[in-house]
Structure formats: structure tokens, C-alpha cells
Amino acid sequence: MSKSGDRLNRLFDRLERRVPRLAAGWLARVRRPEARWVRIPLGILLVLGGIFSFLPVLGIWMLPLGLLLLAVDLIFLQGPINNAVLRGSRIWTNWQRSRRNRKRDGK
């Protein structure tokens, strides 16, 4: 497996540890190599649902999840998805840290 594929697997492992047990089990099953024929159509449907997030039932959360699932099989997506996830997690961590500091300082 490539370096970006290994990084993507580590990101999925971390995601599985952070989500509820039911979602983690579902994610583990979808990540199996034999689930490719489920993963690709599901990823496409999630991306399309994320694009149409202005509709009441669909949400923007579907877009990143669909891209993550597609990146498992589409190697050209692995690098950009890895970078986006790492950049997003850095931004999230910095935001949480600044919020915590503001609370501590009483602002």
C-alpha cells in the first residue's frame, strides 16, 4: 500500500475510535476489501447528497464522508483527502484550544 493509503487507514482508525460503536462497526465493515462494490456506490450517493445539501433531508456532512469512502478505492483522491482531513483537524484543534483559553481567561 502507498504512503497516502497508509495515512488514510490511520485516519479511518482514528475516526472509528471517535464515533459511536454502531457507526464504528458499520465503518469497519464498509472498509473491508470485499465491500468495494458497496463502498463506491455509497460514496457516490453521499457526495451527491452533500452537493444537494440545501434539500431538507440531505446534509453537508454527506460530502466529506462520501469523499473519504471513495478515497479508499480511488488512489488519486487519497492525497488531497489526507491533506484536507489533516488541515481540518488542525483547525479544529486550534479552535478548541482558543475556546478553552477564552473560557479560562473569563472572556
pLDDT for res 1: 61
pLDDT for res 13: 87
Mean pLDDT of the region 16-36: 89
Q: Determine the distance from the C-alpha atom of residue 87 to the mean position of all C-alpha atoms in its chain, rounded to a whole number.
A: 12
Query: What is the per-residue pLDDT across 58-75, written as a single tens digit (0 to 9) for each?
Result: 788 888 889 989 999 998
Domain boundaries, the chain: 3-105
pTM of the predicted structure, to 2 decimals: 0.76
Residue 62 CA to residue 92 CA, distance in Å, equals 19
* C-beta separation of 62 from 49 below 8 A: yes
Which residue, 27, 92, 40, 87, is CA-closest to 66?
Answer: 40
* In the predicted structure, residue 40 carries a pLDDT above the cut 90: yes
How far CA 10 is from CA of 16, 53, 70, 93, in Å, comes to 10, 28, 16, 18
